[in-house]
Amino acid sequence: MTSQTLPQSPGPRPRSEEPAPAAGARRWAVLAICCVAAALLGIDNSVLNYAVPSLARQLHPSSTQLLWIVDVYGFVLGGLLIVAGNLGDRIGRRKLLLMGVTGFGLASALTAYAGSPEMLIAARALLGLAGATIMPSTLSLVRAAFTDPKERTTAIGVSSGVAAASFALGPVVGGLLLDHFWWGSVFLINVPVMALVLVAGLLVLPESRNPHPGRLDWVSVPLSVVGMFGVIYAIKTAARDGAGSHPAWIAAAVGSVSLLVFLRRQTRLAEPLLELRLFRTAAFSGAIGANVVTMFTSSTLSLAFSLYFQVIRGWSPLTAGLALLPGPLSAAFAAPLCSVLIPRVGRARTVAIGLFLMAVSTAGLGMSTQHTGYLQLLPLLVVNGVGIIFTFSVTADTILASAPRTRTGAAAAISETAMELGGALGIAVLGSVLSAFYRSDLTLPRGLNAAQTSAARESVSGGVETGVRVAGSNGQHVADAARQAFVDSMHTTTLIAATIMLLGAVAALVTLRNVPAVLDEDADGHSAEGGAGDGAGHGVVGEGGDAREQTVPTA
């Protein structure tokens, strides 16, 4: 069975007459398909780091090529999200998702069997292109399938929880595969999963699109791509090479100018690629801001504890991945609680509670020493995962419900882009703070030559490796000093991150205070924010809508 989206006839009508895009068990099947697709993207996004040593031994990439192998996926994905989200609104989100799934499977096979660094870079770029079409499509299809506001909140919470858990599954999946197979297996595993998603999607997913999309402005497309690519490249390069890097400054200048021209052009178009008017809605702009804060801070915690478990504690990548897994798993299990919590305390307070839990757990985790027992860390990891999902699931639902149903693909793309930028900025800024405090706290013993001193000061990994190479007790002193300096720098950096989270919680209470617990569309197809403005948001907004999409199944 296939389906097509048709414009609804003018004039409001009772809700009972509105056809549901996906009825009964079918809508939950839609959710399952979208969750699997999103989970595979999350795993793929984190698994490469664990395959790098093995592929480097076989393909012998240069240092520059290795950086492109690692980064090109994120560059392409981040640069194309806005374009892909708008494309889905125009040609159909189901169609775009199935195209992306097919492309991701083919690109995964190319990546797995890449015989040279150049081929691997090209294949990873294709993976980023396919991923950009999948990410906004999954969220917008879930939004289209669940028309009841309470069910929609639960469904988006589950989707967000699965996505969060998938990032932590990358190290586990990668470790298991690399223990038994060659490096390409971490990508080849994508092929059968995406084939399953493709078949299930063809049978189950309903189509949804904007019935009156208007003309696509082709001038805006390259401006958006160049702008986003330039900014993301600049952030990542500055984080790796320092703020004084010439390529970072050039990329930042090109990207910023392109984005400024792009944004100015959007204000003059009847059918803009980026709907800036969405940001005038408190629900939308407040939720985007909370997303950025969450990704900005949580990405740094993930980086710090990956180093902590592997370098400070000496655990294998697989063991470190398993150690971090309780956080994302708790997020996946806690996601449905959001639909219970929101009606009782409101969206603003739910997001604030999430950020508060993240702040407390981050500060606690950051106080770890070289010998802190794992059982002491476990409750904090669980609390952190719950806090993350309380924030992400509510903000994702708020963002999608705040946008007209005809623009959910574009809204989802804005949400995903904000998260990509927040994560990149977090690594660049707080990652640099972590490195700066490490160098300032590091006290090395006498007797090291210039090369050994430079390597030890470069990073905690370099410090520990230098200690192993230096003979005698002096080497042990170097390694111990590097470990202690990193732990001290982690204390300071996580306290800064926790402070930012607390400020984000206060901001969420202010920006989302008038957003009702139940968000639905008004007669113009836009989200209304009626109800009492008491922070708890007890109020249901208007129903009906002549601008709503209508999905009509056809044989």
Q: Confirm whether 25-207 and 287-515 share one CATH topology.
A: yes
Q: How would residue 11 be classed by pLDDT, with cut points 50, 70 and 90? A: very low
Sign of CA dihedral 498, 502, 503, 504: positive
Place of tokens 């010439």: 246
pLDDT in tens, 151-189: 787 888 788 778 777 777 777 787 788 777 888 888 888
Q: What does the block give as tokens for 286?
A: 């407040």
Which has more confidence, 321 or 196? 196
Over residues 310-336, the mean pLDDT reads 83
370-387, pLDDT tens digit by residue?
888 899 999 999 999 899
Q: What is the average per-residue pLDDT within 439-448? A: 83
When pLDDT is averaged across residues 217-235 and rounded to a whole number, the result is: 83
Lowest mean pLDDT among 19-33, 207-221, 524-538: 524-538
Task: pLDDT band for 311, please (50, 70, 90 cuts).
Answer: confident
Which range among 7-11, 167-171, 246-250, 551-555 has the greatest average pLDDT? Answer: 246-250
Domain assignments of the chain as residue spans, ordered by start: 25-207, 217-272, 287-515
pLDDT at 83: 83
- Report pLDDT for 102: 94
- Give the C-alpha distances (Å, rounded to integers) separating 387 from 147, 148, 361: 26, 25, 9
Question: Across 50-59, 85-94, 127-136, 453-462, which has the greatest mean pLDDT?
Answer: 127-136
**Predicted pLDDT of residue 195:** 92
Q: Which residue has the tokens 């249901």?
A: 540
Q: How confident is the model at residue 198 (pLDDT cuts 50, 70, 90)?
A: very high
Please report the pLDDT score of residue 520 as a whole number: 61
The alpha helices in 346-449, defined as continuous H runs, are 347-366, 374-402, 408-441
Predicted local distance difference test score (pLDDT) of residue 122: 92
Instruction: State the chain's mean pLDDT as an integer.
Output: 79
Measured distance CA(488)–CA(506) in Å, rounded: 28
pLDDT (mean) for 256-271: 85
Residue 330, pLDDT above cutoff 80: yes
Query: 24 pLDDT exceeds 70?
Result: no
180-194, 501-515, 517-531: least confidently modelled range: 517-531
Segment among 106-120, 448-462, 493-507 with least mean pLDDT: 448-462
Lowest mean pLDDT among 45-59, 286-300, 383-397: 45-59
Q: What is the pLDDT, as a whole number, of residue 475?
A: 80
Q: Which amino acid is at 459?
A: S
pLDDT given at position 107: 93
Q: Does domain 287-515 have CATH number 1.10.10.60?
A: no
Q: So what's the pLDDT on residue 157?
A: 79
Question: Burial, 530: exposed, middle or buried (Cβ in 10 Å; 0-12, 13-18, 19+)?
Answer: middle
- pLDDT of 8: 42
Q: For residue 219, give the 3-state DSSP assignment.
A: coil
Q: How confident is the model at residue 5 (pLDDT cuts 50, 70, 90)?
A: very low
Which pLDDT does position 60 carry in this prediction? 83
Assigned architecture for domain 25-207? Up-down Bundle (1.20)
The pLDDT of residue 213 is 67
Residue 520: DSSP 8-state:
E
% of the chain residues with pLDDT over 90: 14
pLDDT higher for 353 or 55?
353
Mean pLDDT of 539-544: 33
* Helices assigned H by DSSP within 179-281: 185-188, 190-204, 220-241, 246-266
Please name the helix (run of DSSP H) or strand (run of DSSP E) that holds residue 295, with its range, or none.
helix 282-307
